[in-house]
């Protein structure tokens, strides 16, 4: 049986915890070490994880590894997706990309820039809403920064339509197919952008996890 506690990167084995043959016992500080190593491989040697972000990363790791006890302690539902909110440059996108690597072999979500969904809609119309709304697990990146869509002269709030479809998917699959989001917008701004109907469903769809407003701008470290 493969040992899920071990991950090999460039010939070096990293341990994320201990595996007793049936159950994986994760260690947060070992996960943190691996995330920094993987971050350097993906984003360059300047990448680093800041101490101020550790409480948030701890919550996200508990969610990712499906730790029900920790999730309950943090008030997180393992059935819902994650809405990761924070200021520009705080590292939302890079963190959501990294978290996909800590469980080897587990099916994971695909990172999709929200603007790409709109660009697809402009060419293909509502087929795009069906594609992203009715199947798969996705993290829609930079929600709220995408333009409005336009197809055959008709304007559409494309991501709003996708989120409504994802809500129905959440209900029918009981959270098996996850929806995640990164955004700079707060709750009021999201409601202004997508309307009260979408906002109310987002409360059911997502665990809101927010970066500290004093979190450092990390764009220098993600070149």
Q: How far apart are CA 54 and CA 42, in angstroms?
A: 20
- Mean pLDDT of the 84-93 span: 94
* Cβ-Cβ contacts under 8 Å for 83 (sequence gap 6 or more): 180, 181, 183, 202, 205, 206, 207, 208, 209
CATH number of 6-222: 3.40.50.300
Average pLDDT, the chain: 93
Neighbours of 71 (CB within 10 A): 17
Q: How far apart are CA 110 and CA 20, in angstroms?
A: 30
Residues 5-39 pLDDT 10s: 899 999 999 999 999 988 999 999 999 999 999 99
Domains of the chain, residue spans: 6-222
Using alpha carbons, select from 5, 8, 25, 24 the residue that is nearest to residue 16. Answer: 5
Residues 61-73 pLDDT 10s: 999 999 999 999 9
pLDDT (0 to 100) of residue 3: 82
Percentage of the chain modeled with pLDDT above 70:
96
Cα separation values, 134 from 7, 15, 161, 178, 200, Å: 33, 36, 11, 11, 19
pLDDT (0 to 100) of residue 4: 80
The residue ranking higher by pLDDT, 21 or 189, is: 189
> For 125-179, where are the alpha helices, taking DSSP H only?
127-133, 158-173
Evaluated on CA atoms 27, 30, 32, 35, the torsion sign reads negative
pLDDT (0 to 100) of residue 1: 44
Cα separation values, 150 from 111, 115, 133, 155, Å: 23, 13, 18, 4
- Assess whether pLDDT exceeds 60 at residue 138: yes
- 10 Å CB burial of residue 75 (0-12, 13-18, 19+) is exposed
Q: Which DSSP category does 184 fall into? A: S
Helix H or strand E segment including 201? helix 187-205
Q: How far apart are CA 171 and CA 128, in angstroms?
A: 20
Contacts 24+ apart (CB under 8 A), 32-40: 32/57, 34/7, 34/101, 34/102, 35/98, 35/99, 35/102, 37/9, 38/9, 38/98, 38/101, 39/94, 39/98
Q: Which two tokens stand for residue 178?
A: 């996850």
């Amino acid at each position: 049986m493969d040992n899920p506690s071990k991950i090999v990167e460039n010939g070096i084995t990293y341990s994320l915890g201990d595996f007793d043959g049936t159950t994986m016992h994760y260690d947060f500080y070992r996960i943190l070490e691996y995330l920094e190593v993987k971050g350097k491989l993906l984003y360059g040697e300047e990448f680093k994880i800041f101490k101020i972000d550790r409480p948030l990363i701890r919550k996200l790791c508990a969610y990712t590894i499906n730790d029900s006890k920790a999730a309950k302690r943090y008030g997180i539902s393992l059935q819902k997706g994650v809405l990761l909110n924070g200021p520009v440059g705080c590292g939302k996108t890079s963190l959501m990309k990294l978290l996909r690597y800590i469980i080897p072999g587990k099916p994971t979500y695909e990172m999709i820039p929200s603007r790409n969904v709109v660009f697809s809609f402009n060419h293909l119309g509502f087929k795009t809403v069906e594609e992203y709304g009715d199947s798969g697990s996705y993290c829609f990146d930079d929600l709220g920064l995408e333009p409005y869509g336009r197809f055959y002269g008709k304007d559409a709030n494309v991501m709003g339509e996708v989120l409504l479809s994802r809500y129905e998917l959440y209900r029918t699959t009981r959270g098996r197919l996850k929806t995640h989001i990164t955004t700079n917008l707060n709750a009021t701004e999201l409601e202004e952008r997508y309307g009260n109907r979408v906002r109310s469903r987002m409360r059911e769809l997502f665990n809101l996890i927010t970066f500290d407003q004093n979190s450092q701008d990390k764009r220098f470290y993600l070149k």
